[in-house]
Each structure stands twice: as structure tokens, then as C-alpha cells.
Amino acid sequence: MSVGNTAAPAPLANMGEPIRRSESVAKVTGRLVYAADAPGQSPLQAYFLTSAIARGRVLSIDAAPAEALDGVVKVYTHLNAPRRIATPYTQKGGYASDTNMPLTGPEIHHDGQIIAMVIAETYEIARDASHRIVTRYDATTPAATIDSPGVDILHPDALAEKEKKAGDFAAALAAAPVKVEGVYSTPAQHQNAIELYSTTASWSAGELTIHEPSQFVVELANGAAAMMGIDPSKVHVVNPYMGGAFGGKGFMTQRTALVAGAARELARPVRNVVTRDQGFTLATYRSETKHHVRLAADHDGRLLAYGHESWEMQSRHDDYPLAGFGVTTAMYGKPAILTRVNLVKADRQTSGFMRAPVEMPYMYPLESAMDELAFALDMDPIELRRVNDIRESPIDGARFTSRSLMRCYDEAAASFGWSKRDPTPGSMREGDWLIGYGCATAGYPTHMAPATARVTLSADGSARVEVAGHDSGQGTYTALGQVAARELGIDPERVHVAMGDSRLPAAPASSNSLATASIGSAVKLAIDKLRSRFGNALPDDRDRSAAFARLGVSEIGDLGEFLPPGTNPEVLGMLRKGQVPFANQARGDESKNGKPLMFAFGAEFVEVRIHRLTREIRVPRMTGAFAAGRIVNPRTARSQLMGGMIWGMSSALLEATEIDEKRGRYVNDSLGEYLMAVNADVPRVDVIMVPEEDPEVNPLGVKGIGELGIVGTAAAVANAVHHATGKRIRDLPIVMDKLLA
């Protein structure tokens, strides 16, 4: 067992070396070049003016005062916008993360929609000019929250497959002796990566080069080509480094084509940097959800019924459904199950990925309800999980490739000191502070997407890995280098990894925690091919030059193509066109046709302290234990898991995008007002990596860890708050207001 706050935990069984991230020194010394810093070109600057209403029409827009400013080159509105071709929604075969195409007409569909784009010689002039544009609106009352009058509530047939069912729920519930029921909600949240969204577009001889932070450069290149009406081979996206992404940079937004279109018309490179507040409305985000959960059990805690109906906030024009029942029904027991998801269509922008997009909002209510059930049963919450730990799916009996949930609980509980907990709410105190302990399960499916990668080995013993993958800060450069080094039998320092370029071999989006598993598997397959060229044994230092001499080359490269189990080779073609979402992935939470479930699990423990008078909540410590197959690098893995837990805590207590209900607008759209945890909020986080082997999931035996840590934390915090105070807060975030009420 490895516990404690050491940045580079010593590797246990089935773990690689905790080497440092290859770009870390450059990163902390400010030497990495990010998209908006791309040198040369002296681009024109584009600044967006965004709508002050959430619904209605632009009646008139007077750009003359802006155009009169020295240095303003052009003001685009819906009357003269650059030419673009609409592309369908990403999940409908197109490339747009939000299909509401700005500057195509006077209609406004959400707060902060782009209504004009000012192009000027400098950023400051463009921003100043934008403030001088006079807009008149015809505003209509928006419907912008789940409970607002005027929203449409849909229940699309297409989601039926995701609505898991088993047995006779109504009968099982009616007959059960112990029941709990609650309505839970999670707020809208925004990724707020430190690196702002930006696009720099330049044209040369009919070819378009784009510098833009992207978690999916292949999709961005193909999407930009589609919207510009040119061949995808004429678009080059370059983006080697990102300052955080968290899903916000997942798929192409409408901004790219606006900027590229302006650059084409004006025949000059154009750059747009989205401001912090604009970032709240000009990218996808985590939308709010509401859940009605019912759990019933026998007196020993065995689950008899699980009912879960949810409501998810959506834009009017696109559906981004989560329907996270594949995850929740893979957790416990063999209850009768009834689930249903409702899409709430409102005057909002389209939502999308944000760390554990599905699992975070769906595991929070389940894990809270499990704690409520344990309390109703007068049972230890860990024991309730133990009684309901499973080897197979309650839906269809599918097995798990591996499942170490209770080992995680036992290791984390021992390290945390759970045995010191007096289960009576409000019973533990220190001076004026009420103390509460809470725990919850983390679970994340092991997804995989098709991926390709080229590996080139040189006679001098160095190697190159080339792939159009991405590192938004999680350590993919380092992990892929380690995977290649291990397979090649060379030192990781001798491997150079190139990523973030759409002309490299195609890789899927860096999302769903699938990068290391999918791209790493492609790297391994490429090296397997290289090995066969050398008669099934790669040469080592002593015979390498001789082996290369025999082949008459100084370097040798090959392409690995990874197809997730159960997918057909056509998916590689789709990948190269940047059409990856879902249809061509292998999903860990789907168990069709005898496919086993693939999941990483964890257990999280939280201590809260709440002042008896003023009721502010502080979290002095958290402990999490996780089992996720092979750990390629315990240092980067620990930092991902720790970051996830910190964010989970932050989203339990602080993070929420506030919406002015009457106006349908986000109000706290700055880092000053959108609070997230700072260092002082997280004194101690212990991460335990529980060794686990799962050779079945993929050639590397790797499960995703990027999102695992954030799942369950919010419930652990809420459960601890209940333990400290006896109050059950079912809507996040748990701010002091709710405890003072």
C-alpha cells in the first residue's frame, strides 16, 4: 500500500516508473508556446460582441462608431458575415459542437451569442470598438432553467437503449421493507481552463493553417474544411500544447470558421482570443441535471429496487444526452431497475464534455442515496456496498473484466481512519467545529476508440512516436513515451513524441479517459510490426547498428492501427475524417452481445469541518484509493486522480454557474465570481493506487484514470456534511446558505 503525499509514488505491481513529465520544466518556466502565442504573421485581431439577451432578435446594429475608430479593419454582423457552410452536429455525422451558427440572421438563441465580430489591427482597438457598437433588440422572455415555464421536455425514442430496465420495479419497491427517495440536482458548470479559447487562422495558396487549442485536431481540421468548403487535405491544425481543456476544447465550435472566413476574405491572418466571460457562452459546458432516485432494500441491505428518473438541460437546437444509467446500473446488487431520462430544451447554448460528463452528475445522486439507505438501515455505508458488490451486471448478467471496488474501500478506509467514525450525525466535534466523515464510490468505464500511430526506430537507438493526439496537461507525451520505451526496450529519454498536429497519424479526441489506452495500444501495435521486421526480436544496443546495416536503412518506421474490440475496420476511415463520437467506440459501460463490462473503480473518503455558528464548510483531508489496471506512470496518474478529487470537492462546495432566471443569462462569468478551490481549500489529499491486472481490456491492460477521481467526490462530501450536521443537502453546490437555512 502506498499512502501519502509523495509526488512520485514508488511503483507497485503492474506500474511503470514515476518519471517526470517531459515538458514540465518548459511549462513552469513559461517556455511552451500555446496556440494564441504562435509566432510570426502579425495577425489582425478579432473581437466578438455577444448578445445581451438570451432570446429574441437583433432589431438593428449600428457599427459606424466602431468602424470610425483608427485601426478598425472591418465589422462583421449578420448582414455581411464571412461565407461558411453549415455542418451538422458532431453526433449526427457533422463537426459542430453547437449547430447554432452565429451571424447568419438576427435571431438570438442564447445568452452571449456572437452578434458581431470586430477586426482591428490590435486587440485593444478591437475591444474598444466592440464597446461602441449600438445594438437594439426585440427581446422575448427566455426559458433558461430546468423549472422555467416555456421549456420543452422531451423523451426521445433514440435514448430507449440507454434507459436500463430489469425486473418489475413497481412490485419490488412496493414489497421492500426499507426505502429511501430523494430529488437531487447538479448545477451548470464551466471548464474554465486557464488557457483561454483562441483561434489563429492564416491562408496561403488556398491552404488554411489553424492554431487553436483542441482536444481533437483531426476533427477540427475536417470540420474547418467542411465549413470553408475546401478539401480536408488543405487544412492544417497545429496545437502541440494546451493549458487545460477539460472537455471545453473537445469539438469544433462556430468560432473557428468565423475567424478562418474573415482571414480568407481579408487575405490576412486573423486571431481571436475569447475573453474569460465570453468563454462561458462560446463553448460547450456541463449543463444542470436533476434526478429523482428511489432505492429499496431488505433488512440486510441487499438492494431490491433502484429507480432513477433524470432531467438534463439542453439547447433547443442540439441534443447532448448523458443518460448515465450504464454506469449507475453497473454498481450494485441485483435490484429491479427502472430508469428514464428527460431532455429539457431551453434557450441555452449546447452543452458538452466536462470532466466525467456522464459519471459525475449521475453517480452523485446514486452515491448520496446509497448513504441515505445505509443511514435508514443503520448500517455502515461501506458494508452496504460490500453486501451489494457484484461480479455481473444486474441488467444482462454480463461479467466485469476486473473489479476491485471493495479492495479500494478497504485500503482507503484503513488509511483514512474510518473506524474512528461515530455514526451518529452531529456527534463528532472539536471546539466550535462539527466534524463529519463521508465516503462514496468512484467508477469510470474503460472506453476505447480507434487510433493510429507511427513509431520510427533509428539505428542510433532513439525512437520517434508520431500521432495526432493531444496533451492538455495530463501527461500524454510522457505516458506514450513510456509505453514506446517499454516495448522497444530503450530508455524513455530516447523517445521523442510528436502530437497536436492534424497531419500526423489520426488519433481520437482526448476525452473519455481513453487516450493512453487507445493511442498506447496503437503504439504497441506499431512496435509489434517493427519487431516482425527484425525477425520477432528487436535489436538491443549491442547489435542494433548491425541489424540496421543488414536491412540497409538508418531508420525504420511503421504504422500501428488499433481497432477497439467489437468494431469493424471502417471505423479507421471515420477516424481519419474526424467522425469519432460514440458510434465507433468500444464503451466500457455497454455489454451488448456478450461483451463484458470494463470499469475502473475507486473509493473516496472525505472529512469536513463545519463551524457551529457560521456554518462554512472546510475539507481538511481526503483519501482516495483507485484500481485502474496497469498504471503507466504513478506520478502522472496520482496527479490526475488527485486533481480529480480536488475538482470533485470543489464542485461539491463551490462551483456553479449562476443563472439570472428572469434574463436567462450567466452572471458570475469571471474567475473572481465563479469560485473553484484554491490551495488553502485542500490541505491534504492522499491517493492510493491499488495494484490491479486486467490483460483483457486492451493490449496494454490500461484503464482510463483521467476522469475517475472526480466521480463520487461530491457525494462523499455531501455524505460527510450529513454526518457532521444531520442535514441532507441534495442540491449542489453545498454552500453555507443551505446549512444556515
**Residue 165, CA atoms < 13 Å, CB-side half-sphere:** 11
Residue 741 interacts with another protein (CB under 8 A): yes or no = yes
Instruction: Supply the angle between the helices 515-533 and 476-488 in degrees, to the nearest 10.
Output: 30
Q: b vs e for 45-76, b when ≥16 Cβ sit within 10 Å of the residue's Cβ?
A: bbbbbbbebbbbebeebebeebeeeeebbbbb
Q: Compare residues 60 and 554 and give the one whose CB is closer to another protein.
A: 60
Interface of this chain with another protein, residues 694 to 733, rule: CB under 8 A: none
Residue 154 interacts with another protein (CB under 8 A): yes or no = no
Q: Residue 200's beta-bridge partner residues?
A: 211, 271
Interface pick for another protein out of 659, 700, 711, 714 (rule CB under 8 A): 659
- Per the listing, cell 435508514 goes with 376
Closest CA to 312 of 292, 348, 282, 287: 287
Residue 430 interacts with another protein (CB under 8 A): yes or no = no
Residue 503 interacts with another protein (CB under 8 A): yes or no = no
Interface pick for another protein out of 309, 658, 696, 731 (rule CB under 8 A): 658
- In the complex, the smallest distance separating the C-beta of residue 69 from another protein, rounded to whole angstroms, is 9
Paired sense of beta strands 495-498 and 463-466, if any: parallel
Closest CA to 356 of 698, 596, 630, 589: 589
Q: Compare residues 662 and 684 and give the one whose CB is closer to another protein.
A: 662
Residue 128 interacts with another protein (CB under 8 A): yes or no = yes
Interface pick for another protein out of 10, 68, 105, 124 (rule CB under 8 A): 124
Q: Compare residues 47 and 320 and give the one whose CB is closer to another protein.
A: 47
Q: Compare residues 395 and 646 and give the one whose CB is closer to another protein.
A: 646
Residue 693 interacts with another protein (CB under 8 A): yes or no = no
Interface pick for another protein out of 419, 424, 536, 679 (rule CB under 8 A): 679
Cell of 29: 518556466
Interface pick for another protein out of 582, 673, 684, 695 (rule CB under 8 A): 673
CA–CA–CA angle 187, 188, 189 (5° rounding): 110
Q: Compare residues 132 and 703 and give the one whose CB is closer to another protein.
A: 132
Interface of this chain with another protein, residues 267 to 326, rule: CB under 8 A: 277
CA–CA–CA angle 44, 62, 260 (5° rounding): 30
| DSSP 8-state symbol, 7 | S
- In the complex, the smallest distance separating the C-beta of residue 735 from another protein, rounded to whole angstroms, is 6
Q: Do residues 560 and 529 touch, judged by C-beta distance below 8 A?
A: yes
Interface pick for another protein out of 8, 12, 52, 414 (rule CB under 8 A): 52
- In the complex, the smallest distance separating the C-beta of residue 107 from another protein, rounded to whole angstroms, is 18
Q: Do residues 359 and 289 touch, judged by C-beta distance below 8 A?
A: no
Q: Compare residues 187 and 335 and give the one whose CB is closer to another protein.
A: 187
Q: Compare residues 49 and 499 and give the one whose CB is closer to another protein.
A: 49
Interface pick for another protein out of 531, 615, 621, 728 (rule CB under 8 A): 615
| DSSP codes, 155-201 | --GGGGGGS-EES-HHHHHHH-SEEEEEEEEE--B----SSPPEEEE
**What is the strand order of the sheet 684-689 is part of?**
429-430, 433-445, 599-611, 617-627, 684-689
Task: Give dist(CA 128, CA 71) in Å, integer.
Answer: 11
Interface pick for another protein out of 298, 681, 696, 731 (rule CB under 8 A): 681
Q: Which among 195, 219, 367, 707 is annotated as catalytic?
A: 707
Residue 531 interacts with another protein (CB under 8 A): yes or no = no
Task: Give dist(CA 607, CA 723) in Å, integer.
Answer: 10
Applying CB under 8 A, the site for another protein has a residue count of 36
- Per the listing, cell 452536429 goes with 89
Q: Compare residues 541 and 737 and give the one whose CB is closer to another protein.
A: 737
Residue 621 interacts with another protein (CB under 8 A): yes or no = no
Catalytic residue status for 707: yes
Task: Enumerate binding residues for another protein (CB under 8 A).
Answer: 50, 52, 124, 127-128, 131, 277, 432, 611, 613-616, 618, 653-654, 658-660, 662-663, 667-668, 672-673, 675, 677-681, 735-737, 740-741
Which of the residues are catalytic? 707
